Amino acid sequence: MAETLLKPLKAGLIGSGIQASLTPSMHMKEGDAQGFRYEYELIDLAQLGLTTDSLPDLLKDAEERGLSGLNITHPCKQLVISYLDELSEEARALGAVNTVVLKDGRRFGHNTDWWGFAESFRRGLPGADLTAAVQIGAGGAGVATAYAVLSLGLKALTVFDREQERAEQLAETMSSLFPEATIRASGDITSAVEAASGLIHATPTGMVKYPGIPLPPGLLQPHHWVAEIVYFPLETELLKQAKRRGCQVLDGGGMAVFQAVGAFQLITGREPDAARMMRHFQSMTA
């Protein structure tokens, strides 16, 4: 019995360029607060010199080493689905997974990103005008943010992506899930932003490894709200420019915390203290 109690619960994060991630600390600190040993590791494709082709081997290795679960981030959120046994309703609808529970020799895929973004948006941009929004990015994170903001009541969404086909696929998927909303892919970002009440940025641009800004800042006007998914750094160049132009802004910190809250519960089977996890995150980013 004592040996069982002393055995640590193990989990990890698979992605590329993730050395600055705060996810391990959020998970382990909450484990400490709840009185159990929790080891959470980074499995960084870039640092290991691996490509996404290594994903099946990494999943198998995690199982063999006794990990209870994995978080999945860029660029693996959609690719990982092929190697899973079951998907939650949301993960299936979104076609993207950010949490994999490893249990009894089976792999269960979940998506806590959408709820994390929705909860952050609801708290951080209360009363935001949900008439129309532009979203840049149609990858795994973009699917989650679109689902979240449409769930909150957004009436119209225009999607942009460097890969037009991917933007069109996201628009088609969301249109089937939210038939009451107007959702389309477009290549004309200027007119779309002019007609929108808000902007959602859902690409890695602005991260430490991918510096830059995803659109000409002159397109932003004071009536726009701007929601970001990047949280390292918390104030991206996009948010700096948006603030200068009088926009209401939402950084990626809330999404990072609330997706971790959901993932912690799934991986450990224990109810996390969301407020405590938020305080810990804020202490690391102050």
pLDDT score recorded for residue 217: 98
pLDDT score recorded for residue 4: 45
Per the listing, tokens 């809330």 go with 254
Which phi and psi (to 5°) does residue 132 adopt?
Answer: -155, 140
What domains sit in the chain, N to C, each tagged with a CATH number?
Answer: 2-111+255-285 (3.40.50.10860), 114-251 (3.40.50.720)
29 noted as active-site residue = no
pLDDT score recorded for residue 140: 82
Q: Which of 7, 10, 29, 77 is catalytic?
A: 77
Choose among 249, 118, 146, 131: nearest CA to 203: 146
pLDDT above 70 coverage of the chain, percent: 98
> Which residue numbers in the chain have pLDDT < 50?
1-4
Instruction: List Cα–Cα distances, 70 to 24, 131, 159, in angstroms.
Output: 11, 36, 29
271 CB-contact burial (10 Å; exposed 0-12 / middle 13-18 / buried 19+): exposed
